[in-house]
Amino acid sequence: METKTVLITGASSGFGEATAKLLSESGYKLILIARRKDKLEKLKKELKTEVHIQQTDVTKRGEVEKLFNNLPANFKNIDVLINNAGLAAGLDLAQNSDLDDWEKMIDTNNKGLVYCTNFALKTMKVRNAGLIINIGSVSGSAPYPKGNVYGATKAFVRQFSRNLRADLAGTDIKVSNIEPGAAETEFSIVRFKGDSEKAKQVYEKTRALQAIDIANTIKWIIEQPMRVNIDNIEIMPIDQTYAGLVTSRR
């Protein structure tokens, strides 16, 4: 079998890093991109397969275009795009939120995903082959106080994934959307702008998902037969579920 080439965005930590390590063990060729070059270089040294790393900010269209236009010849045919780069910035009521935080989430979670998808599809459609895996969130369908723009960006990811499937009907290009619940990664540290103590409290006395759980799911999706497309999958930790509607009493 021909070795698959997989591009992972946000590969320097969390789901992206865990997925790179797992896929490397099975011999996949990897293109790893993130903003932190030092983390990518360290990760590359740990992996057991062919790896191309590129410092790239997915929120900048020019950088994404440059990445795709300058891939080495043996990495140009991307079989799998994993749109993993994403973040939450701040946890405030909408009326108290920082507009810069809102823009940062939209730029990363939506625009960055759209840029990478658009350029990857240019080559996938020529070969009539490929798989796009988007990392959404249960927040895209389950609203919660202070989730405002973060939840909205993940609702976009879900609907964009569905619309891609509709557009690609009749081709051999697959699209999957993975929606994790609470996962203990750098996610909350980023959300709370480096406050590790505050981030730690999010996962206290609970069994949260780990990065390897999502990596295992990604690998499983990639290795499904051609006839199978995993449209959407929600993954919740055992200690998290839906809380129902809330009624304010005055």
The answer for residues whose C-beta is within 8 angstroms of residue 45's C-beta and 6 or more apart is none
Catalytic residue among 144, 150, 203, 242: 150
Assign 53 to helix, strand or coil.
strand
How far apart are the C-alpha atoms of 237 and 76, rounded to whole Å?
A: 37
Q: Strands 173-180 and 232-235: what pairing?
A: parallel
Contact 64, 81 (CB under 8 A): no
Q: How many angstroms from the chain centroid is the CA of residue 149?
A: 17
183 bridge partner residues: 209
150 among known catalytic residues: yes
32 bridge partner residues: 8, 53
Residues with a known catalytic role:
150
